[in-house]
Amino acid sequence: MVIWLIGMSGAGKTTVGTRLVTRLKAESPNVVYLDGDLLRDVWGESLGHDVQGREANAGRVSRLCAMLDRQGINVVAAVLSIFPEWQEWNRETFSEYFEVFLDVPMSVLEERDTKGLYQAARNGRMRDVVGVDIPFPRPPKPDLVLESWGPDGTPDALVDRVLAALPAVRS
């Protein structure tokens, strides 16, 4: 199974993803965590953050997940995922695909701004920031939508909701 966590920068993908993997590994040790930002480091930052670079990176992440899935390895992937065509490819290609959208208002994301991306983009110091000068299309068919902000949006509560909604994970 591939659990695909979608959300903009600051939505909580990494926090939810790492906690989810920890909980899943207690029941099924063959789970790996893939993070879009970390994979860019693994691949040597050979791609830019413009739309073309982001699309190439999306294909790399999806194809890596497909390879792991074919080997019976469960994956939790935390990715920005702005390409509905790759989300559809995932749904058609993976043995099991569960898409979770971490939905957070832009005002909350800008308040969090953990990486300083939004402020840098608003001040003209950075380009190609999703949500500012690259549109973020809402995923058309998520299996679960979570509001990862407010009193019900704590990381552990969100992980509980994902686990409750998941079909049985292969061991």
What span, in angstroms and rounded, lies between the C-alpha atoms of 68 and 109?
Answer: 32
3-state SS, 30-74, equals: CEEEEEHHHHHHHCCCCCCCCHHHHHHHHHHHHHHHHHHHHCCCE
User: Which is catalytic among the residues 81, 107, 148, 171?
Assistant: 81
Active site residue 81: yes
CA torsion angle 78 60 98 162 (round to 10): -10
* SS3 (DSSP) at 99: strand
Active site (catalytic) residues: 81
